[in-house]
A and B are shown apart, each in its own frame.
Chain A
Amino acid sequence: DAGITQSPRHKVTETGTPVTLRCHQTENHRYMYWYRQDPGHGLRLIHYSYGVKDTDKGEVSDGYSVSRSKTEDFLLTLESATSSQTSVYFCAISEPVGEPYEQYFGPGTRLTVT
């Protein structure tokens, strides 16, 4: 299994508070992604990173920011959590050399915003 961990695994927070989710990898993969999974929507890309300090928006980036100061860590911040951000969040990694965009997923973080 690819070495990807997410923390926390479960979190309950109140509307309006900032929340940071962490993704940590031990595979030295260049690309890292944050997705949210909601019933009926599958996985939707929030942000991704193609290198340290290099990030870009996905299709549902409003209300989220990311940072990547080291290859192994990719942080997702909900600047002011809203109930619509209640979801399961997955981190994924990939290395575009050799295996084209085959992604490896973390175990997920279940976030509830009350």
Chain B
Amino acid sequence: AQSVTQLGSHVSVSEGALVLLRCNYSSSVPPYLFWYVQYPNQGLQLLLKYTTGATLVKGINGFEAEFKKSETSFHLTKPSAHMSDAAEYFCAVKGYQKVTFGTGTKLQVIP
């Protein structure tokens, strides 16, 4: 079965600082991986996805993630945090007919 582990349920960064949210996956087959973002009182929306091909994936709002098979990781980064990035972020991995989500990381951006 596929699974993901998100390290750190809460992350705080200063505005303008690097954002790094960690995700490790477990999959018996080549994985399809996703990052979703959830703003307060809203549903989730897709930030970016990795299926095949280029291991550095760019998403919306300046976010990107790198697939590293040797480390079974798919960490999310953004060079410079903005106040509007404050939200909860979920890593997810595709399984058979469904997707398994991590427990989420809440990002706080400090002015």
* Interface residues, chain A, with chain B CB atoms under 8 Å away: 4, 31, 33, 35, 40-45, 48, 50, 56, 58, 90, 92, 100-108
In the complex where A100-B51, A102-B49 touch, is A107 in contact with B43 (Cβ < 8 A)? yes
Inter-chain contact B103/A42, CB cutoff 8 Å: yes
Q: Which of B63-111 contact A (CB under 8 A)?
A: 90, 94, 97-104
Query: How many of chain B's residues touch chain A, expressed as a range?
Result: 20 to 34
Chain A binding surface, main DSSP class: strand
Expressed in whole angstroms, the minimum distance between the Cβ of B34 and any Cβ of chain A is 7
* Interface residues, chain B, with chain A CB atoms under 8 Å away: 9, 32, 34, 36, 41-46, 49, 51, 90, 94, 97-104
Given A92-B44, A105-B43: 12 more A-B contacts, CB < 8 Å: A35-B101, A42-B90, A44-B101, A48-B98, A90-B44, A101-B32, A101-B98, A102-B34, A103-B46, A103-B99, A108-B41, A108-B43
Inter-chain contact B101/A90, CB cutoff 8 Å: no
Inter-chain contact B101/A101, CB cutoff 8 Å: no
